[in-house]
């Protein structure tokens, strides 16, 4: 099918990839295929996106968000359930999956929300969903939230953890250390995250979303839990306030540069790289709403970092493809190998671009990464089909 410099079994090799019925059948130097320029990497998995839609179609839809993901070299996304209305039961879950089945450009799956209202029946909702769909996790569960229904106490979390045999993903900020104000990094202290992580690991095993402090990361590394980091918590800091102004708000907030530098330096110890793609319109950001778009630029920025030697390609592939598949049980995804889906992205690492918002596909029409260097994929294959080829695209996404 294609031949080139392929990341295979933790190293680059010159080889061809033969595909049959969307599955990698054979990999080897004697396998013939179209020669590609650049490097062939596994297409990414973004386990943390907010594609909005429903009553928030003005800022993103499953269609626009998944197109952004495709242009960013992502083949599978995990959407979060804190939508309007909430994805807290089978009926809403099914409605959203039916939209994704028609509209998504990449493979799509969806978490189920844990709320104070559904906590006592969540096992029933899980059983109903699993009869039709693959449910990756419960979450993102909020220890702190302005909506009382979404703010889950440690006691409730403990009860649910004890009865559910399913991954629970946690937004770890303790409400005792959070208050309202702008810029929000002055009102959501790092102790909020560290305290919440400490208390959660005492309860049991979790997957922690968007960890932003070195202290919390160290606690998780020494536990049986896993965690993800975002590009913005590795590459941005509170020093961006002069550039971003009210646009700087994100939860958890940006931290001091020392935290960001530690996380990037210790990227090899991280489990997952995820965007926490959370788009708001320019007008909403001016009012201070928290969240950054990122699903389209995450992989391209980090490919450029790997080319520069700031991180290794092995670590990048592990965090953006292999580990997400392993942790969340996405069979057939994660790395290019015989028997897996033929999901890969071709990057011409010499074609480095400066990010400009008008080259991106999110409806929110802004990015905190304006001017950052990135290597965008020329071609993205989903199950062997050219879903993206030099700017042209087709819809091959499926729901899990």
What's the rounded Cα separation, in Å, for the pair 196 and 194?
6
For the chain, helix (H) and strand (E) counts, in that order, are 13, 18
Helix (H) or strand (E) holding 374: strand 373-374
Residue count of the chain, please give it: 400
- Those residues whose C-beta lies under 8 Å from the C-beta of residue 152, and which sit 6 or more positions away, are 114, 115, 116, 119, 141, 142, 143
Query: Coil, strand or helix: which one is 247?
Result: helix
Q: What is the CA radius of gyration of the chain?
A: 20
Q: Establish whether 276 is a catalytic residue.
A: yes
Query: Coil, strand or helix: which one is 93?
Result: helix
Instruction: Pinpoint the alpha helices (H) of the chain.
Output: 62-71, 90-103, 122-130, 154-163, 190-203, 214-221, 231-235, 241-244, 257-265, 282-286, 298-307, 313-317, 323-328
List the 377-382 sheet strands across, edge first: 23-28, 11-20, 2-8, 34-42, 344-347, 377-382, 385-389, 392-393
Q: Across-strand partners of 386?
A: 381
The Cα diameter of the chain in Å comes to: 62
Q: Which of 276, 315, 348, 390 is catalytic?
A: 276
What's the rounded Cα separation, in Å, for the pair 175 and 363?
32
What's the rounded Cα separation, in Å, for the pair 160 and 166?
10
Look at the block and give the residue holding tokens 């509170």.
238
The catalytic residue positions are 276
């Amino acid at each position: 099918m294609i031949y080139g410099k392929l990341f295979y079994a933790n190293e680059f090799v010159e080889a061809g990839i033969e595909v049959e019925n969307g599955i990698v059948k054979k990999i080897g130097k004697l396998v013939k295929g179209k020669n590609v320029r650049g490097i062939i990497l596994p297409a990414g998995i973004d386990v943390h996106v907010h594609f909005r839609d429903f009553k928030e179609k003005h800022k993103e839809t499953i269609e626009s968000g998944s197109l952004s993901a495709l242009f960013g070299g992502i083949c599978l996304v995990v959407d979060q359930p804190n939508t309007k209305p909430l994805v807290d039961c089978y009926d809403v879950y099914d409605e959203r999956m039916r939209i994704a089945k028609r509209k998504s450009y990449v493979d799509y799956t969806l978490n189920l929300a844990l709320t104070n209202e559904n906590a006592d029946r969540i096992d029933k909702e899980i059983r109903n969903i699993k009869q039709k769909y693959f449910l990756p996790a419960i979450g993102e569960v909020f220890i702190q939230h302005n909506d009382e229904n979404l703010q889950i106490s440690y006691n409730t979390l403990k009860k649910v953890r004890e009865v559910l045999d399913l991954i629970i993903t946690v937004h770890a900020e303790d409400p005792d250390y959070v208050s309202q104000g702008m810029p929000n990094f002055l009102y959501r202290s790092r102790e909020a995250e560290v305290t919440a992580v400490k208390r959660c690991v005492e309860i049991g095993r979790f997957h922690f979303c968007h960890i932003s402090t070195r202290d919390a990361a160290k606690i998780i590394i020494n536990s049986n839990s896993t965690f993800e980091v975002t590009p913005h918590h590795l590459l941005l800091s509170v020093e961006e306030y002069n550039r971003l102004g009210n646009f700087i708000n994100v939860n958890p907030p940006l931290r001091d540069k020392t935290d960001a530098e530690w996380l990037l330096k210790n990227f090899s110890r991280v489990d997952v790289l995820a965007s926490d793609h959370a788009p708001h319109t320019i007008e909403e950001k001016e009012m201070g709403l928290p969240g950054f778009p990122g699903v389209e630029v995450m992989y391209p920025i980090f490919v450029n970092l790997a080319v520069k030697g700031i991180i290794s390609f092995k670590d990048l592939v592990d965090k953006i493809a292999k580990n997400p598949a392993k942790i969340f049980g996405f069979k057939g995804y994660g790395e290019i190998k015989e028997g897996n889906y033929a999901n890969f992205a071709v990057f011409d690492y010499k074609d480095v671009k400066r990010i400009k918002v008008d080259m991106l596909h999110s409806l929110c029409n802004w990015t905190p990464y304006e001017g950052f260097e990135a290597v965008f994929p020329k071609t993205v294959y989903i199950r062997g089909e050219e879903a993206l080829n030099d700017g042209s695209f087709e819809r091959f996404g499926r729901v899990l």
